[in-house]
Structure 1
Amino acid sequence: MKNFIITAFIIFLSIISIFSGVATVNLSDIFVQGTNSNNIIFLSRIPRTISIITAGFGMSICGLIMQQLTMNKFVSPTTAGTADSSKLGILIALLFFPRESIIFKMLIASIFAMGGTFLFLGIVRKIKIKDNALVPLIGMMISGILSSITMFFAYKGDLIQSINSWLFGDFSGVLKGNYELLYITIPLVLIAFFYSKQFTISGMGEEFAVNLGINYKTIVNIGLIL
């Protein structure tokens, strides 16, 4: 019942989002091809709403997987070096591949994000005392180092504004034709649901997972890549 209420509430808010904005929409013209109201709804507001929902559930699943794998409720992509690693990847893409497509640049950012996350987990595994506050602090230290390196070279290359434009969560400019890449989130989330039980078991520790027949390292790697 609770899930049904939450789902209904999200749908209700989504409908409000579609019909909310500076421009006035005439309900009688929404389904008339070529009218201003039709263009506003189908070229701007529906893509904007889909983008917000897709990004939202994708990011929430990311945070949950990170917390399960590290056995720490304070860990997330922003406190594990993932976000700042991707920022470094964006810098590399802008410096060396400025004319490449957005997909190619995002691929580089994703590779760097995974590399930073693996670095974080590798350091955490070496620490014998895994205090709840210590683990995210390590991630924040890694993030600080990566962020300072990124901003130094971005300043040298006059790319600070370009990098920041990639990192702002702004959906106001979303239009049909430049949001469809977010659809890749949907199959990744479905795969995450498929492995949800394995992630939960792995979150109880390596020895516990191995005793239950789980290939711990493989499941952790799958979780990080997702």
Structure 2
Amino acid sequence: MFHKPSFLNAANGVALLILFAVSLSVGVADFKWSALFSLSDSQQVMFISRLPRTFAIVLTGASMAVAGMIMQILMRNRFVEPSMVGASQSAALGLLLMTLLLPAAPLLAKMSVAAVAALIGMLVFMLLIRRLPPTAQLMVPLVGIIFGGVIEAVATFIAYENEMLQMLGVWQQGDFSGVLLGRYELLWATGILALFA
């Protein structure tokens, strides 16, 4: 089995820290590192917006990487990833339906419904690929792409009919600009689960 040399791991860690600092420095609001330790707007910008946004990005990226690796191990296929098996599309559909049917629901409820919808979509995909012969490993991603496309088409149609196409696009592309203190803390749970996994 191929292992990365330890200097590559150290280089990756240093790169992550540098990019973390760059992410904290970038944004619409004026921010000065020199004013961080005084009671100023820079301190509020850092703790209310920039730190939560950066933590959300890191936690989401790490969780998605671990989820993809687990999915590849479970399916015994290196070409499979969550967006290829309908999980991402199912989560977007669940979130869309939740927003339409219960718009006043708390964020935790919406996130929970999206997670359950992703699990259901993945289970349906697994039922579909059980019918494939074991020798057709290259068919698994193709079936996943078609399955995900069907779910995405349903979500796009519902969003179009309800004038929510732009919101659906934001969910699918991963916009972190609206992440603020109090709106991302559930991601710490996914980060802990990813670490455990």
Deviations 1:83-106 (A, max 9, x none): 111122122212321221121112
Tell me the distance in 2 between the aligned counterparts of 1:118 and 1:83: 13
3-state DSSP class of the match of 1:78?
A: helix
Tell me the distance in 1 between the aligned counterparts of 2:161 and 2:32: 50
Query: What is the aligned counterpart of 1:116 among 108, 116, 121?
Result: 121
Match of 1:216 in 2: none
Q: Does residue 99 of the first structure (1) align with residue 104 of the second (2)?
A: yes
Give, in angstroms, the shift of residue 144 of structure 1: 1.4
Moved more, 164-173 or 77-86: 164-173
Match of 1:65 in 2: 70
Q: Which runs of 5+ in 2 are unaligned?
A: 1-5
- CA 1:106 to 1:27, structure 2 compared with 1: closer, same or farther past 3 Å? closer
Of structures 1 and 2, the larger Rg is shown by 1
Contact 1:124 1:130 in 2 (8 A): no
Query: What is the aligned counterpart of 1:20 among 21, 26, 29?
Result: 26
Tell me the distance in 2 between the aligned counterparts of 1:27 and 1:141: 48
Deviations 1:157-199 (A, max 9, x none): 333233333323122332222222211212211331xxxxxxx
Match of 1:213 in 2: none
Moved more, 61-70 or 101-110: 101-110
* Amino acid paired to 1:20: V
Match of 2:9 in 1: 3
* Amino acid paired to 1:39: Q
Identity of aligned residues (%): 35
Moved more, 155-164 or 66-75: 155-164
Contact 1:77 1:83 in 2 (8 A): yes
Match of 2:81 in 1: 76
Question: Over aligned residue pairs, what C-alpha RMSD do you find?
Answer: 1.8
Q: How does 1:1-226 map to 2 (within 5 A)?
A: 1=6, 2-33=8-39, 35-192=40-197
Give, in angstroms, the shift of residue 76 of structure 1: 0.4
- CA 1:148 to 1:191, structure 2 compared with 1: closer, same or farther past 3 Å? same
* TM-score (norm. length: structure 1): 0.77
* Amino acid paired to 2:98: A
Tell me the distance in 2 between the aligned counterparts of 1:26 and 1:191: 37
* TM-score (norm. length: structure 2): 0.88
Moved more, 20-29 or 62-71: 20-29
Paired residues, what number? 191
Tell me the distance in 2 between the aligned counterparts of 1:86 and 1:71: 23
3-state DSSP class of the match of 2:133?
A: coil
Give, in angstroms, the shift of residue 121 of structure 1: 1.1
Match of 1:211 in 2: none
